Copies of this chain bind each other. A is one copy, B any other.
Amino acid sequence: MKIKKVLLSAGVHGNEKTPIFLLKKFQKNSIPITRSNFKTEILIANPQAVKLHQRYLDVDLNRCFSSEKLDKPHPVKYEEIQAQAINRRVQESQIDLILDFHTTTSSNMGITLLLSNDHPFNLKLAAYLAEHNDLVRIVLNAEQKQNNRLRHLIPLGMTVEIGGIAPNVVDPVWVERLEYLVQQILEYLEQINQDRPPVTPKIITLYSLQEPVYFPTDDQGEIVAMVHPNLHGSDYSVLNPDEPMFIDLDGNNIYYSGETANILFVSESAYFEKQIAFYLATKKKISIE
């Protein structure tokens, strides 16, 4: 398999400024991103939201890439129009691989690779990155129903979440880390294209994303508890049955009653409006090839 065109995307959420800054750096050609055997394009996906320092204008752009929305004859919402335009560009430019960069705000997700699917190419690339970078963790959505993210436009690629980084902030430490990751990916692809694929581990650890856990609410739908301090900031750690997961307004613990799981996206600011406290995930080891 040869990769001819790679798309680097940022700004699907307009207030995630750190990857946008890096892609602007690439655009200024201060750092080469095209290699001998493939080309790299850059996309700032939601420029209006970037300008307004908002996550989105009308609706979350990263929920607009379902085939249903892409086929809508007369989209009205800004992000729905934008999603169709991006889809046209991806098809016309014959993009082979999408790398869509995002940031998490409160949750300490390090570098989280959200794979588009379990295609062996995606698994191997992820395995290579995890092997060479301690910050990297690999997540696969357990239920592949929601194919509405930018990464779902084509089979190869992933969303890369880095953080925590506050909204609208360009964090210089993370700019450097992400630049390093992009260079690792480009090197890997160059070698794949030269038919000398880098050695990748045969067994990889991945987190299979399960359902969200919601905050407890009162009759008016208002949140009445906070995430327990043991969990806050402890993304990827293990949550066992009977461990406290919330503290309510009276200072009482609320305990977890499910099966042992790992916790992801803990206290993620962008999920607060959906009243999601964190996600559960199952840690797995799988063989590849």
Contacts and interface: CB of A to CB of B under 8 A. Distances in A.
A106 B273 contact: no
Nearest to A250: B30
A173 B53 contact: no
Contacts of A175: 226
A172 interface: yes
A162 to B, nearest CB: 14
Contacts of A28: 249-250
Q: How many of these chains are in the complex? A: 2
A57 interface: no
Contacts of A124: none
B105 A166 contact: yes
Given A30-B251, A53-B273, A272-B53, A267 B229 contact: no
Contacts of A164: 166
A166 B21 CA distance: 20
A169 B228 contact: no
A252 to B, nearest CB: 9
Tell me what chain A mostly uses at the interface: helix, strand, loop, or mixed: loop
A41 interface: no
Nearest to A231: B172
A247 B24 contact: no
A15 to B, nearest CB: 9
Contact of A168 (B25, B247, B269): B269
Given A53-B272, A105-B169, A176 B30 contact: no
A136 B39 CA distance: 52
A169 B249 contact: no
A227 interface: yes
Contacts of A229: 172-173, 176
Contacts of A30: 249-251
Q: Which of A30, A170, A267 has the most CB of B within 10 A?
A: A170
A27 to B, nearest CB: 8
A167 interface: yes
A3 B175 CA distance: 50
A235 interface: no
B269 A169 contact: yes
A172 B269 contact: no
11 contacts: A105-B166, A106-B171, A167-B167, A169-B269, A169-B272, A170-B227, A172-B227, A172-B228, A172-B232, A173-B232, A173-B233
